[in-house]
Structure formats: structure tokens, C-alpha cells
Amino acid sequence: MDEQEKYWRAKERVDELRGFYSHLAAFMVVVIVLAVLNVLVTPGFYWFLMVAAAWGFGLFWHAMGVFVFSNNFGRDWEKRKIKQIMEKNKHE
């Protein structure tokens, strides 16, 4: 792997991380604003928790994609699989 490819892989990883942290920051800001509105405007029924739970579910899967599955099923996996299939076909 040459330096340019290493650079682009690192840049891609940084973009993934930035996307997740932006998502997390937006989640936190919006949920806090909704919680304040909920308490001030419609006290008694905490509807903002439903929004937080639904969005939190999406945020959880975003985190899984960035921190858990990115190494196993990302571009590296595709390249490894292509190489594996090419090697297999070479011997046939």
C-alpha cells in the first residue's frame, strides 16, 4: 500500500468519525431542546423520550457501523474478498 492510499484510507476514516460525532452532537442538542420544551409546554407526559429513543436507535446503529463493523465489512473486506476470489479462480 503506497502513501497516497494510506492517506485516502485515513481521510475516509476521519470522515466516518466526524459524521458520527456530528450525529451525536445534533442528537444531544435536539433532545435537550425537546426535553426543555416538553417540560415547559406540556408537563406530565414526557413525549421527548420517544423521540430520543427512536433517534437513539439510529445513533446506536451509526456507532456500530463506524466503530464495530467498519473494519469487518468495509472497503477492506471488499478488497480481501475480491483478492480471495481472484486467487481461487487463478487455480481453476
CB 55 within 8 Å of CB 23: no
Range name among 3-17, 28-42, 49-63 with the lowest pLDDT average: 3-17
CB 42 within 8 Å of CB 51: no
* Better-scored residue on pLDDT, 23 or 12: 23
pLDDT-derived band of residue 50, with 50, 70 and 90 as boundaries? very high
Domain that holds residue 8: 3-90
* Total domains present in the chain: 1
What Cα–Cα distance (Å) separates residue 52 from each residue in 16, 33, 70?
Answer: 22, 11, 25
| pLDDT tens track for 56-71 | 999 999 999 999 887 6
Whole-model pTM?
0.75
Q: How many angstroms separate the CA atoms of 12 and 23, rounded?
A: 17
